[in-house]
Amino acid sequence: MNTVSQRRYQDVAAELRELIRTEGFQTGDRLLTERQIALRLDVGRSLVRDAIIMLEVEGLVQVRQGSGVYLLGATQRQPDLTVDDIGPFELLEARMVLESAVAGLAAATVTKADIIAMREALDEERRCISAGDNDYQGDRRFHLLIAEATQNGVLVKLVADLWDRRDKSRMWAQLHSRIFDDTYRNCWLDDHRAILDALRARDSQRSQQAMRHHLSNVSATLMQLSDADDPAFDGFLFPTARTSQAFQSPAADRPSLGRNTKGDRS
């Protein structure tokens, strides 16, 4: 599906490659900040953010948290991404819009059997966290069960398609490879429990808000991967002005990221 927005961030990546070439950057050099690149190319920061992730997947650049974006040797580059590899923040925004609405609708149609299946999915998620297992099928299953509870086949296919695209995305995998702590998994499990409680109460507004809060916490976790306190690195993972209010989450709800060896794909 060759959408304009997908082609555009790849165009920005091509412009950034040309900028690197014309400015004479050498292997190991730190590139411009996201803000400087956005101003130079006259594009939005979300496009720059996804373009940099794309170049990182290709092996052209390396993002060092709290330090900046650095140029790698050309010999380390991998084949270009396909046009169908959607930017991770574009995908997260789509989930925010769709899955929040789906949760609100599901509250009106959810059955006892649906609730039981969702509870089992959360039990699976909890067991995996306790065992230090990198299997996140319980997470995916919980979200898809909510879509199925709407009894609307179109919505089920839309939600499943977003998750399939996320699971197959090399850019999404690259983004999540920078997460080094399982603490956030427990935070997101608590979010899932709150969503389930709202669905059990058949409260559409609370269900929608709980899902929005959950995806806000997901966004907040990704935001923490950039060190906003370092003036030399403004962080390409921060959301754009268009989505920052929708994704805003209280600081107390954001899990602290320490050092570990496990990643996540939630």
Can you give the CATH number for the domain in which 27 is found?
1.10.10.10
Is the residue at 189 inside a domain? yes
Side chain identity at residue 16, one-letter code: L
Supply the pLDDT for residue 113. Answer: 98
Instruction: Decide if 36 is inside a domain.
Output: yes
Q: Looking at residue 100, what is its pLDDT?
A: 98
Residue 32 and residue 116 share a domain: no
Band (178; pLDDT cuts 50, 70, 90):
low
Give the residue, 166 or 176, on which the prediction is more confident: 166
Domain region containing 63: 4-76
pLDDT at 224: 64
Are 18 and 143 in the same domain? no
More confident residue, 178 or 169: 169
**Long-range own/partner contacts, residues 138-146 (CB < 8 A, 24 or more apart):** 139/188, 139/192, 139/266, 140/167, 142/118, 142/192, 143/99, 145/114, 145/117, 145/118, 145/121, 146/99, 146/102, 146/103, 146/106, 146/118, 146/195, 146/199, 146/211
**In this predicted model, what pLDDT tens digit does every residue of 206-232 receive, in sequence order?**
999 999 999 988 877 766 664 433 443
pLDDT in tens, 252-264: 444 443 434 344 4
Asked whether residue 260 is assigned to any structural domain, the reply reads no
In a domain, 262, yes or no: no
Q: Higher confidence at residue 99 or residue 222?
A: 99
234 and 176 housed in the same domain: yes
The whole-number pLDDT of residue 34 equals 82
Task: Please report which confidence band the pLDDT of residue 2 belongs to, taking 50, 70 and 90 as the band edges.
Answer: very low
Residues 44 and 112 in one domain: no
Domain annotation covers residue 263: no
Residue-wise pLDDT tens digits, 117-159: 999 999 999 998 888 777 778 999 999 999 999 999 999 999 9
User: Do residues 52 and 184 share a domain?
Assistant: no
DSSP the chain: ---HHHHHHHHHHHHHHHHHHHTT--TT-B---HHHHHHHHT--HHHHHHHHHHHHHHTSEEEETTTEEEEPPGGG--PPPPTT---HHHHHHHHHHHHHHHHHHHHHH--HHHHHHHHHHHHHHHHHHHHT----HHHHHHHHHHHHHTT-HHHHHHHHHHHHHHHH-HHHHHHHTT---SHHHHHHHHHHHHHHHHHHTT-HHHHHHHHHHHHHHHHHHHHTTS-TT-TT---TTSPPHHHHHHH---GGGSPPP---S-----
- Among 53, 76, 99, the domain-final residue is 76
∠ Cα 26 27 29 (to 5°): 70
- Identify whether residues 92 and 72 lie together within a single domain: no
- Looking at residue 148, its pLDDT comes to 98
- Evaluate if residue 109 carries a pLDDT over 90: yes
Same domain, 117 and 193: yes
pLDDT above 70: residue 245: no
Q: Assess whether 113 and 24 both reside in one domain.
A: no
Question: Quick one: how far is CA 76 from the chain centroid?
Answer: 25
Q: Are 118 and 175 in a shared domain? A: yes
Q: How many domains does the chain have?
A: 2
Q: What digits encode the pLDDT tens for the residues 31-81?
A: 888 888 888 888 887 778 788 888 888 888 888 776 788 898 654 444 455
The reply to whether 265 falls in a domain is: no
CATH of the domain at 118: 1.20.120.530
pLDDT value at position 75?
Answer: 40
